[in-house]
């Protein structure tokens, strides 16, 4: 009788839970952003921040930006194939082309220094970020098709020659497992605090380190961010870019996100007039206080690189079938005890 009851209970589970596609952790440190239906930010009349940031579902977002190690794994998967010579070389990261490699294509290797694999990746386009999400969605398959579909359809990536508007797919596909965060998802993870004024009393912080005061630039141990700081040591050219992600552990968002200030400016899915994709946060070395403020929104062309980087969003993994059955069994046994 218990087996029949358990089987019937399992069959009654929501179909979405039973058929949910798993989203691997890979090597990302994840934060789960809950409190669905949170109140939006109510600021000034600036066009994009005020009234934004409410998200009606739970999702995950990486606590770190995509690192040199993660991007190098991606790039080498395709750059070492015939015709892959120019595949996605960022403006600033911790890798360089291996002079000892004779092809095909290019092989990237780490530069010299501590924690090179954790250096930020700056200078990737929105479209390259979308292809990276496709690759993650497709279980890191090493074939060209894994770049072309999944979270985003790259066949849409073009620009109208008459209007200069882009034709790119605007938002992720409904079944995407990994994607570029929407502006609302990004703002919530960076600035919203469900306990801002006390337990259960939610609100918004002006800056992405759970503070209403601008972050102070400086190296770890002296400042709070690499943004706005230029390494004065002449023997360390661009030393501000050689600070690994996660080096300011006390400057986290309410959900634990790090380096929203510093590292690389981050892409979002948000678009403006079909010409621009919204970027947010600040990057190492550049004036930062206005860029870190919650009401500041920037924008770049989807194929531009500059010092733009990426933070990945993902679905929250569904409980495994085994866990669902264990939970169902526990409920059935508890009911039997109560009934007896």
Tens digit of each residue's pLDDT (9 = 90 or more) over 164-215: 899 999 999 999 999 999 999 999 999 999 999 999 999 999 999 999 999 9
User: Strand 192-193 relative to strand 178-179: parallel, antiparallel, unpaired?
Assistant: unpaired
Report the pLDDT value the prediction gives residue 291, as an integer from 0 to 100.
87
Task: Tell me if 1 is assigned to some domain.
Answer: no
* Dist. CA 328–CA 324, nearest whole Å: 6
3-state secondary structure 232-252: CCCCCCCHHHHCCCCCCCCCC
- Phi, psi dihedrals of residue 198, rounded to the nearest 5°: 135, 170
188 in any annotated domain: yes
Cβ atoms of 333 and 340 within 8 Å: the answer is no
Q: Span 9-33, mean pLDDT?
A: 63
Residues 32 and 269: their CA atoms lie apart, in Å, by 19
pLDDT for 163: 78
Task: Give dist(CA 30, CA 278) in Å, integer.
Answer: 23
State the chain's mean pLDDT as an integer. Answer: 86
CATH number where 263 lies:
3.90.1580.10
pLDDT of 91 > 70? The answer is yes
pLDDT digits (tens, 9 = 90+) for 304-336: 989 999 999 999 987 653 333 333 333 333 333
In a domain, 66, yes or no: yes
Provide the residue range defining the domain that includes 182: 21-317
Per the domain annotation, does 86 fall within a domain?
yes
DSSP code per residue over 60-92: EEESSPPBHHHHHHHHHHHHTSTT-TTS---SB
The predicted structure's pLDDT at residue 148: 96
> How many helices (H) and strands (E) would you count in the chain?
8, 12
Region of residue 27 (phi > 0: left; psi between -120 and 50: alpha; otherwise: beta): alpha
Q: How many CB atoms lie within 10 A of CB 80?
A: 19
Residue 45 has pLDDT above 80, yes or no: no
Residue 308, Ramachandran bin (φ over 0: left; ψ between -120 and 50: alpha; else beta):
beta
Torsion, Cα of 291, 293, 299, 303 (10° steps): 60
Query: d(Cα 285, Cα 292) in Å, to the nearest integer?
Result: 13
Point out the least confidently predicted range of 49-53, 196-200, 215-219: 49-53
Q: How many domains does the chain have?
A: 1
The answer to the question of residue 327 being in a domain is: no
pLDDT of residue 235: 79
Query: 261 lies in a domain?
Result: yes
Per 3-state DSSP, the chain is made up of helix, strand and coil in percentages (nearest 5) of 25, 15, 60
Q: Is residue 64 part of a domain?
A: yes
Judge whether 331 and 153 are in contact, CB under 8 Å.
no
Let me know if residue 3 belongs to a domain. Answer: no
Sign, CA dihedral 46-48-51-54, equals negative
| Geometric angle at alpha carbon 220, from 219 and 224, rounded to 5° | 85
Asked if residue 72 has pLDDT above 50, the reply is yes
């Amino acid at each position: 009788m218990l087996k029949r009851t358990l089987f019937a209970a399992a069959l009654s589970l929501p179909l979405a839970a039973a058929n949910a596609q798993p989203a691997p952790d890979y090597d990302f440190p994840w934060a789960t952003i809950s409190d669905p239906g949170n109140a939006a930010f109510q600021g000034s009349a600036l066009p994009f921040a005020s009234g934004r940031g409410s998200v009606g579902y739970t999702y995950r977002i990486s606590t770190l930006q995509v690192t040199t190690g993660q991007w190098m794994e991606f790039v080498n998967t395709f750059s070492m194939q015939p015709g892959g010579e120019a595949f996605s070389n960022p403006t600033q990261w911790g890798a360089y082309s291996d002079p000892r490699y004779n092809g095909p294509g290019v092989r990237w290797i780490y530069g010299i220094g501590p924690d090179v694999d954790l250096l930020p990746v700056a200078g990737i386009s929105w479209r390259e970020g979308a292809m990276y999400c496709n690759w993650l969605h497709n279980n890191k398959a090493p074939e060209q098709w894994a770049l072309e579909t999944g979270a985003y359809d790259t066949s849409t990536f073009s620009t109208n020659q008459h209007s200069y508007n882009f034709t790119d797919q605007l938002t992720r596909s409904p079944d995407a497992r990994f994607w570029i965060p929407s502006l609302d998802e990004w703002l919530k993870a960076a600035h919203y605090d469900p306990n801002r004024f006390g337990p259960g009393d939610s609100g918004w912080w002006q800056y992405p380190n759970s503070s209403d005061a601008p972050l102070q630039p400086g190296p770890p141990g002296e400042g709070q961010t690499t943004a706005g700081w230029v390494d004065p040591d002449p023997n360390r050219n661009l030393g501000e870019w050689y600070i690994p992600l996660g080096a300011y552990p006390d400057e986290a968002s309410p959900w634990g996100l790090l380096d929203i200030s510093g590292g690389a400016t981050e892409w979002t899915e948000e678009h403006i007039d079909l010409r621009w994709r919204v970027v947010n946060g600040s990057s190492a070395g550049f004036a930062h206080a206005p860029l870190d403020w919650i009401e500041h929104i920037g924008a770049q062309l989807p194929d531009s690189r500059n010092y733009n980087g990426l933070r990945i969003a993902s679905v929250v993994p569904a409980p495994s079938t085994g866990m669902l059955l264990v939970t169902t069994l526990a409920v059935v046994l508890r009911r039997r005890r109560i009934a007896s």
